[in-house]
């Protein structure tokens, strides 16, 4: 009897949550957009907004909607999103203010069709379709800066080509030579160069591949920001086991942090080994920092300038305003925070180019890593021990932070409704995902790998000869995939201790595996991976990583925001969007790298040194 009671209770809760296909399609559509072009042609007023559904005559439908929305992996169906052209959609409703007209119009439609009331909770805009903003001071300033940069390139290139080959060239001018920069982009270090540096070739392959995967994840995120024709696609696919790679794959960005701290430490150690008179010391810190800032800042500011000015004029459509113009407006508001690399701390909830959290964290950790390397560089063997302790210490600190503030791992945040709104006010996003301390273990692992690699080279140690290492190396790449997949079983875990433990070890374990694999790649433990990752193509793409990383989000948003209808989500559609974004990002990155990033970096460095 008791068991039967439990059975009935269980099945009734399950059936309460289970909504049949027919019932699903009886609900009001989550998204709807009127024809934008028609509205522009008729000079109508296009309004876009979000409405809360409220019970009216149809209580049953309302409770079905509420049950459905209780599932975290569904969009919140009590909130519907509408873009309507007024007055053509509601000629019979008369109201003087556009807001009231829009609100009454949607209310009428939902009541007639579904027996539910609506309340306008967020009005994105009401404007005459097709009207554009006039050019302002920011736009003009950006135009002048771009003109100046082009002029500098023309002058630099002409000077480089005209100047006699034997005389000494002025470094500040040659820095702007496109010919010289093209040579730098395509130079092949492996022919007669430093063998220690050419051994690092697989790193470029790792960077390029990581970037391709990051663009994929961001393509999926960008799809969530649009009005979807079939929101059900994401609701269903997020239960699929392979979706774990989407929801739990965010650790992969850490590869950049690990590789960049590895390169920083390794290059400094090589520098110290080549110049025995110049010991590493904190006195070199300002130079290191300037070097980094000269590399990142000019291009970053250029892209930020583009995003706050002419980007908003690159298209139009019903979603152009929420997806592009609002983002640009937030960027104008906090551009100085972005330039100071503090966007993950100051106004963290105003999302300006969501992917730039990484640049801030990278710069903050660069400072930590540079100080550590300069302090410990003289005693690499001691450094290995100290860094190991630091890694575990930082993980302990993270555990305390996560447990104390009850933060959640990213895999539990990747749910449709939060992705649609870009994690608004989500503490775990601000204080864990995009906070420097959660990436600190990865940076330290990179440092440790550099010190270990350096020591092994000095000792003439050959890891390829160790059978144990060879086996572990073979296991490392499959383990990386398995570890990410393991997040699938963490999606619904709620016990605070387990959640905090998982959130603490998630990134460090993945990075330890990646670092181990990297160690194997650069030691040529097997030639297949080495050949694949050392391909010349990756080298070129790897060098342009920063330009590609900075532009891909703008391109992804542009491609989706200029569509004038609801977007159909499907594996092939998103796949094509992903490939299109990659292709266009590479196309945009080439001139950015050649005409802005490289010359500005070389120019600034030649001034400072």
**CA nearest to 182, candidates 587, 594, 590:** 594
Stretch of residues binding ligand NAG (CB under 6 A), selected from 71-79, 167-175, 281-289, 403-411: 71-79
Stretch of residues binding ligand NAG (CB under 6 A), selected from 9-17, 76-84, 233-241, 337-345: 76-84
Instruction: Give the CA distances from residue 296 to residues 165, 230, 343, 390, 596, in Å, rounded to whole numbers and listed in that order.
Output: 31, 40, 15, 27, 11
Binding of residue 63 to ligand NAG (CB under 6 A): no
Binding of residue 79 to ligand NAG (CB under 6 A): yes
> What is the per-residue DSSP string for 85-114?
EETGGGTT---SSHHHHHHHHHHHHHHHHH
**CA nearest to 507, candidates 449, 435, 452:** 435
Residue placing its CB nearer to ligand NAG in the complex, 117 or 139: 117
Stretch of residues binding ligand NAG (CB under 6 A), selected from 73-81, 95-103, 133-141, 208-216: 73-81
Q: Checking DSSP bridges between strand 79-86 and strand 31-33, what pairing results, if any?
A: parallel
CB 74 to ligand NAG: min, Å = 9
Stretch of residues binding ligand NAG (CB under 6 A), selected from 40-48, 70-78, 457-465, 544-552: 70-78
* Chain centroid offset of residue 32 CA: 28
For residue 344, the tally of other CB atoms under 10 A from its CB is 22
Stretch of residues binding ligand NAG (CB under 6 A), selected from 74-82, 392-400, 469-477, 553-561: 74-82
**CA nearest to 82, candidates 129, 122, 39:** 122
Binding of residue 70 to ligand NAG (CB under 6 A): yes
Beta bridge partners of 84: 47
CB 306 to ligand NAG: min, Å = 34
CB 69 to ligand NAG: min, Å = 5
Among 76, 210, 312, 558, binds ligand NAG (CB under 6 A): 76
Using an 8 Å Cβ cutoff, are 534 and 189 in contact?
A: no
Binding of residue 78 to ligand NAG (CB under 6 A): yes
Residue placing its CB nearer to ligand NAG in the complex, 139 or 417: 417
Q: What are phi and psi of 119, to 5 degrees?
A: -130, 125
CB 78 to ligand NAG: min, Å = 5
Total residue count of the chain as it appears in this document? 609
DSSP label at residue 228: B
Binding of residue 150 to ligand NAG (CB under 6 A): no
CB 392 to ligand NAG: min, Å = 38
CB 417 to ligand NAG: min, Å = 6
Q: H-helix or E-strand containing 120?
A: strand 116-128
Using an 8 Å Cβ cutoff, are 64 and 131 in contact?
A: no
SS3 121: strand
Stretch of residues binding ligand NAG (CB under 6 A), selected from 5-13, 72-80, 125-133, 480-488: 72-80
CB 28 to ligand NAG: min, Å = 13
Using an 8 Å Cβ cutoff, are 370 and 287 in contact?
A: no
Residue placing its CB nearer to ligand NAG in the complex, 99 or 287: 99
Residue placing its CB nearer to ligand NAG in the complex, 70 or 179: 70
CB 23 to ligand NAG: min, Å = 18
Stretch of residues binding ligand NAG (CB under 6 A), selected from 69-77, 90-98, 442-450, 492-500: 69-77
CB 498 to ligand NAG: min, Å = 23
Residue placing its CB nearer to ligand NAG in the complex, 69 or 267: 69
CB 141 to ligand NAG: min, Å = 37
**Residue written as tokens 């063997």?**
381
CB 12 to ligand NAG: min, Å = 20
Instruction: Give the CA distances from residue 509 to residues 107, 287, 372, 499, 502, in Å, rounded to whole numbers and listed in that order.
Output: 52, 33, 22, 15, 10
Residue placing its CB nearer to ligand NAG in the complex, 53 or 500: 53
Among 23, 24, 29, 52, binds ligand NAG (CB under 6 A): 52
Residue placing its CB nearer to ligand NAG in the complex, 86 or 120: 120
Helices marked H in 82-231 — which ranges? 98-114, 137-162, 171-174, 178-186, 195-198, 201-225
Angle in degrees, 0-180, between the axes of helices 571-592 and 285-308, rounded to the nearest 10: 120
Number of residues near ligand NAG (by CB under 6 A): 8
Binding of residue 593 to ligand NAG (CB under 6 A): no
Using an 8 Å Cβ cutoff, are 358 and 256 in contact?
A: yes
CB 32 to ligand NAG: min, Å = 18
Using an 8 Å Cβ cutoff, are 207 and 542 in contact?
A: yes
Distance CA 533, CA 521 (A): 8
Gyration radius (Cα) of the chain, Å: 27
Please report the beta strands in 225-309, taking only residues with DSSP state E, as ranges in sequence order: none
Distance CA 490, CA 160 (A): 58
Using an 8 Å Cβ cutoff, are 530 and 521 in contact?
A: yes
> What is the per-residue DSSP string for 475-507?
HHHHHHHHHHHHGGGGTT---HHHHHHHHHHHH
Residue placing its CB nearer to ligand NAG in the complex, 119 or 281: 119
Binding of residue 418 to ligand NAG (CB under 6 A): no
Distance CA 430, CA 347 (A): 10
Among 69, 88, 421, 430, binds ligand NAG (CB under 6 A): 69
CB 414 to ligand NAG: min, Å = 15
Distance CA 69, CA 61 (A): 12
Using an 8 Å Cβ cutoff, are 357 and 343 in contact?
A: yes
CB 66 to ligand NAG: min, Å = 8
Residue placing its CB nearer to ligand NAG in the complex, 280 or 413: 413
Binding mask 96-125 for ligand NAG (x = CB under 6 A): -----------------------x-x----
Beta bridge partners of 45: 86, 128
CB 83 to ligand NAG: min, Å = 18
Residue placing its CB nearer to ligand NAG in the complex, 81 or 160: 81
CB 76 to ligand NAG: min, Å = 4
Residue placing its CB nearer to ligand NAG in the complex, 107 or 210: 107
Stretch of residues binding ligand NAG (CB under 6 A), selected from 75-83, 322-330, 452-460, 493-501: 75-83
The residue ranges that bind ligand NAG (CB under 6 A) are 52, 69-70, 76, 78-79, 119, 121
């Amino acid at each position: 009897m008791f068991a039967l009671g439990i059975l009935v209770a269980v099945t009734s809760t399950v059936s309460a949550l289970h909504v049949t296909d027919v019932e699903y399609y009886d609900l009001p559509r989550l998204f709807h957009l009127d024809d934008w072009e028609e509205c522009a042609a008729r000079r109508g007023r296009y309004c876009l907004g979000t409405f809360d559904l409220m019970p009216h005559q149809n209580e049953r439908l309302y409770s079905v909607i509420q049950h459905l929305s209780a599932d975290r992996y569904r969009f919140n169906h009590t909130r519907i999103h509408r873009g309507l052209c007024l007055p053509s959609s509601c000629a019979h409703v008369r109201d003087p203010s556009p807001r009231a007209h829009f609100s009454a119009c949607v209310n009428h439609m939902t009541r007639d069709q579904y027996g539910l009331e609506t309340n306008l909770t967020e009005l994105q805009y009401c404007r005459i379709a097709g009207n554009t903003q006039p050019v302002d001071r920011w736009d003009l300033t950006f135009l002048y800066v771009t003109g100046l940069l082009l002029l500098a390139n023309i002058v630099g290139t002409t000077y480089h080509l005209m100047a006699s080959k034997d005389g000494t060239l002025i470094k500040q001018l040659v820095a702007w030579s496109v010919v010289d920069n093209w040579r730098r982009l395509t130079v092949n270090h492996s022919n007669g160069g430093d063998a220690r540096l050419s051994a690092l070739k697989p790193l470029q392959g790792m960077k390029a591949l990581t970037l391709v995967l990051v663009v994929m994840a961001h393509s999926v995120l960008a799809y969530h920001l649009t009005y979807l024709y079939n929101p059900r696609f994401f609701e269903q696919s997020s239960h699929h086991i392979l979706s774990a790679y989407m929801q739990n794959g965010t650790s992969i960005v850490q590869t950049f942090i690990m590789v960049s701290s590895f390169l920083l430490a390794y290059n400094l150690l090589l520098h110290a080994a080549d110049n025995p008179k110049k010991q590493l010391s904190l006195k070199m810190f300002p130079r290191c920092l300037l070097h980094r800032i000269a590399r990142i800042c000019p291009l970053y500011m250029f892209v930020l300038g583009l995003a706050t000015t002419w980007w908003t004029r690159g298209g139009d459509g019903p979603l152009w305003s929420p997806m592009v113009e609002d983002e640009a407006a937030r960027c104008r508001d906090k551009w100085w925070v972005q330039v100071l690399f503090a966007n993950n701390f100051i106004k963290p909830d105003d999302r300006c180019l969501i992917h730039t959290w990484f640049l801030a964290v990278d710069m903050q950790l660069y400072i930590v890593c540079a100080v550590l390397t300069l302090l410990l560089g003289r005693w690499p063997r001691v450094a290995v021990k100290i860094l190991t302790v630091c890694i575990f210490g930082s993980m302990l600190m993270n555990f305390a932070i996560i447990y104390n503030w009850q933060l959640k791992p990213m895999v539990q945040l990747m749910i449709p409704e939060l992705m649609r709104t870009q994690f608004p006010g989500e503490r775990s996003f601000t204080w864990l995902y995009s906070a420097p301390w959660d990436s600190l273990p990865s940076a330290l692992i990179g440092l440790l790998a550099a010190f270990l690699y350096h020591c092994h080279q000095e000792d003439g140690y050959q890891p390829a000869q160790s059978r144990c290492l060879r086996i572990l190396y073979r296991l490392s790449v499959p383990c990386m995939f398995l570890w990410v997949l393991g997040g699938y079983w963490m999606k619904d875990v709620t016990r605070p201790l387990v959640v905090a433990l998982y959130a603490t070890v998630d990134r460090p374990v993945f990075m330890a595996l990646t670092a181990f694999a990297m160690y194997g790649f650069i030691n040529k433990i097997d030639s297949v991976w080495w050949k694949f990752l050392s391909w010349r193509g990756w080298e070129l793409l790897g060098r342009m990583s920063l330009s590609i990383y900075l532009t891909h989000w703008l391109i992804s948003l542009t491609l989706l925001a200029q569509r004038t209808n609801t977007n159909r989500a499907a594996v092939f559609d998103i796949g094509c969007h992903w490939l299109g974004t990659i292709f266009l990002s590479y196309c945009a990155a080439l001139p950015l790298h050649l005409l802005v990033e490289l010359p500005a970096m070389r120019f600034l460095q030649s001034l400072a040194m």
